[in-house]
Amino acid sequence: MLSRWLPLEKPLVEIEEQIEELKRLAVRENMDLSDKIARLEDRKRAAMQDIFQDLTPWEKVQMARHPKRPYALDYIGALCSEWVELRGDRAYGDDRAIVAGLGRFNGRAVAIIGNQKGRDTKERQERNFGQASPEGLRKAQRVMELAARYKRPVISFVDTPGAACTPEAEERGISEAIARNQLVMSQLPVPIVIVITGEGCSGGAIALAVGDRVMMLEHSYYSVIAPEACASILYRDPTKAEDSAEALKITAQDALRMNVIEEIVPEPLGGAHRNLGRMCLTLGEALDRALSELSALPPHELVERRYRRFRCLGAIEDYPPDVAAPQDTPGE
């Protein structure tokens, strides 16, 4: 079972196994071991504090990719009282790496789009590890336009290692599909709230992440490139991903500092997968707050604000043309 857990969780899992063992023993031998169990519970809490207080960027990547990490349909199932999935791009096919549909969240009718990864080997392949093909992005676009026509806000759950990396995706215009989604989202006259729940990696992520409010779960990551790919380029060694994860500044805390996101949604101690109920309570509150605030804005103001939100992002030296920059540009 240990392979379903991360190396960093190992001390924790060992304590948990001991607790289980003691509980079994207590029942079998009809003994009172509650003292011992309580002491182990204390040790477990301390270990959790110790491990999860200060995860490195690379450990965050591991957490974001955790095989037990909740996926879009887990959140939808827990947060929505109703859910109707819509399928197909009306042009070529239905991409299972993307889910899209209509739901009811806290009494509010919403449209939801998101990446969906699979749990077992078969489903993982079916859902292509959450890597969207053009069909999936076009399905999301179709459902967002439907939402706009019926004035439904959009919630987008992002969790992808990138867009589909196949010849077919190229043949059917993956670039155009990523670009078009961003264009459509930038003009959509209804509130859009983005939640990066796990991996927010490269073009596949930004294709679903243009919105009014962008939040990240505490142990998710958001990056222009996968740390492994970056390490291949930077160090010519994909195993140096730990270093490139550090260099790329990909944690939620980094993204907040750079104003790329508005909010970090705290995860239960030990990560979202250890307590989905608690996670959804916190996330539900954050989503409800965002939707209530954004729904109060008239559509044209919403779109204008969204434009300005992305418009101001960038790191540049901007001197008036007639003032020389402090460091002279070579060659001039």
Partner 1 sequence: MRLDEIPDDLMTKCDGCGALLVTKSWLRDFKVCSRCGHHTRLPAHERIELLCDDGSFEEWEAHLAPRDPLGFPGYEGKRTAAQLKTHLKDSCVVGRARIEGRPVALGASDFAFMGGSMGSVFGEKITRLLERALHERIPAITVTSTGGARMQEGLMSLMQMAKTSAAVARLQAARVPFISVLSDPSTAGVQASFASLGDLIIAEPGALIGFTGARVIEQTMKIKLPKDFQSAEFQMAHGQLDMIVPRAKLRETLAQTLGLLLD
Q: Which of 43, 124, 180, 274 binds partner 1 (CB under 8 A)?
A: 180
Distance CA 226, CA 329 (A): 32
- State the chain's maximal CA–CA distance in angstroms: 86
Count residues near partner 1 (CB under 8 A). Answer: 61
Compute the least distance from the CB of residue 22 to partner 1, in Å: 46
> Is residue 255 near partner 1 by the rule CB under 8 A?
yes
Q: Which of 99, 158, 225, 241 binds partner 1 (CB under 8 A)?
A: 225
> Is residue 178 near partner 1 by the rule CB under 8 A?
yes
**Which phi and psi (to 5°) does residue 160 adopt?**
-145, 140
* Nearest C-alpha neighbor of 138 from the set 84, 98, 104, 107: 98
Distance CA 297, CA 96 (A): 34
Cα four-point dihedral sign 21, 12, 70, 280: positive
Distance CA 274, CA 68 (A): 9
> Is residue 187 near partner 1 by the rule CB under 8 A?
yes
> Which is closer to partner 1, CB of 96 or CB of 273?
96
Q: Which of 103, 130, 203, 270 binds partner 1 (CB under 8 A)?
A: 203
Cα four-point dihedral sign 168, 169, 175, 180: positive
Interacting positions 204-223 with partner 1 (CB under 8 A): 205-207, 209-210, 222-223
What is the helix (H) or strand (E) element at residue 56, kind and residue range? none
> Which is closer to partner 1, CB of 151 or CB of 305?
305
Window contacting partner 1 (CB under 8 A); options: 47-55, 84-92, 183-191, 292-300: 183-191
> Is residue 91 near partner 1 by the rule CB under 8 A?
no
Q: Which of 44, 152, 172, 273 binds partner 1 (CB under 8 A)?
A: 172
What is the helix (H) or strand (E) element at residue 264, kind and residue range? strand 263-265
Compute the least distance from the CB of residue 318 to partner 1, in Å: 6
Distance CA 192, CA 210 (A): 8
> Which is closer to partner 1, CB of 150 or CB of 307?
307
String marking each residue 280-309 x if it binds partner 1 according to CB under 8 A: --------------------------xx--
What is the helix (H) or strand (E) element at residue 154, kind and residue range? strand 154-160
> Is residue 319 near partner 1 by the rule CB under 8 A?
yes
Residue 137 CA: distances (Å) to CA of 85, 166, 200 = 15, 15, 15
> Is residue 236 near partner 1 by the rule CB under 8 A?
no
> Is residue 125 near partner 1 by the rule CB under 8 A?
no
Quick check: 117 and 66 in contact, CB under 8 A?
no
User: Site residues (CB under 8 A) for partner 1?
Assistant: 163, 165-167, 169-176, 178-180, 182-184, 186-187, 202-203, 205-207, 209-210, 222-225, 229-230, 233-234, 247-250, 254-255, 258, 260, 306-307, 310-311, 313-321, 325, 329-332
